[in-house]
Amino acid sequence: MEDPGLVLSVVIPAFNEAEYLPVYLPTVIESLHRWERVSGARGEIIVVDNASTDATAQIATEFGVRVVSEPVRNIGHVRNTGATIATGQYLFFTDADVALPPAGIETAMRNLCSGTCTGGAIPPLYLCERLGARLLCRYWDWYRGRHGGAQGVAQFCTVAAFTQLGGYRTDLYMSEDVEFFSRLRALGDRMEQPVVVVEELRVRPSTRRYDQWPTWRMVWWQNPITARLRLTSPRFWRHWYDTTVR
């Protein structure tokens, strides 16, 4: 049954995140509680356990968040599953290895509740160990700003907009977040409620893949050409899915 007092649903896909949830999930809870105290409204956190083989679901449950299981290994499908069971009027998508700033959810909701935007995003700040990885992340930050894109590490929108767009594309195994935000931006422009990119804040994703993989490997998988190749092929992107997920 829908809770009439519940306004926001935070959706977090998670695959084998038992090590990272205790580090990053508290930042999401803190950001949500800060907004709740300021607004007097209520929110929920939904962790979508994506066929984990570790204690991801158990640890998420111990934090008191809502946990749902989704066996299909496709990131767009996983996010859509969380959105489907969400009971809030607004959606905030982040990842299990992303630290939110305390004002993150409050700022997103202030924009959404103003009625002037259909959604938006908070850009990431990657603090990688290696110089090559840092330069690669700076390039993508520049590319994002130049082309008006946004990663799925922190995207938010109204449920109405999400429903109208049909959610994330489930035939994509990479760049589904950028593709969704592109459609969200176009919808906002048509409705004269443009998306908002919160440049004054940054979320901090883990840099585990950048630190564990050689720089050449990250450059191979994260360049403008490869990022557009065979996006519908689970085999082509299996290395991205079989190790640490986004």
Q: At a CB cut-off of 8 Å and minimum separation 6, what does 143 contact? A: 149, 224
Q: Rounded CA gap, 122 and 195, in Å?
A: 11
Q: Which pLDDT belongs to residue 243? A: 60
Average pLDDT, the chain: 90
Residue 167 CA to residue 229 CA, distance in Å, equals 22
pLDDT tens-place string over residues 157-169: 999 999 999 999 9
| Cα-trace Rg, the chain | 17
Percentage of residues in the chain having pLDDT higher than 90: 69
Place of tokens 């990885």: 133
Domains defined for the chain, CATH in brackets? 6-242 (3.90.550.10)
Specify the higher pLDDT residue, 220 or 195: 195
Please report, rounded to a whole number, the percentage of residues in the chain having pLDDT higher than 70.
96
CB distance 12 to 82 below 8 Å: yes
User: Mean pLDDT across the stretch 169-176?
Assistant: 88
Q: What letter represents residue 158's amino acid?
A: T
The encoded tokens of residue 158 equal 């109204």
Mean pLDDT in residue range 231-245: 72
Tell me which of 241 and 219 has the higher pLDDT. Answer: 219
CB atoms within 10 A of CB 221: 16
HEC string for the chain: CCCCCEEEEEEEEECCCCCCHHHHHHHHHHHHHHHHHHHCCEEEEEEEECCCCCCHHHHHHHCCCEEEECCCCCHHHHHHHHHHHCCCCEEEEECCCEECCCCHHHHHHHHHHCCCCCEEECCECCCCCCHHHHHHHHHHHHHHHHHCCCCCCEEEEEHHHHHHHCCCCCCCCCCHHHHHHHHHHHHHHHCCCCCEECCCCCEEECCHHHHHCCHHHHHHHCCCCHHHCCCCCCCCCHHHHHCCCC
Q: What is the pTM of this model?
A: 0.91
**Which of 109, 231, 165 has its CA nearest to residue 221?**
231
Would you say residue 172 has pLDDT above 70? yes
Residue closest to 152 by CA, chosen among 208, 205, 214, 211? 205
What's the pLDDT at 185? 96
pLDDT tier at 148 (50, 70, 90 boundaries)? confident
pLDDT band at residue 2 under the 50/70/90 scheme: very low
From the list 89, 93, 79, the residue with the least C-alpha distance to 43 is: 89
229, 152 contact by CB (below 8 A): no
Q: What is the pLDDT of residues 81-127, one digit of tens each?
A: 999 999 999 999 999 999 999 999 999 999 999 999 999 999 999 98
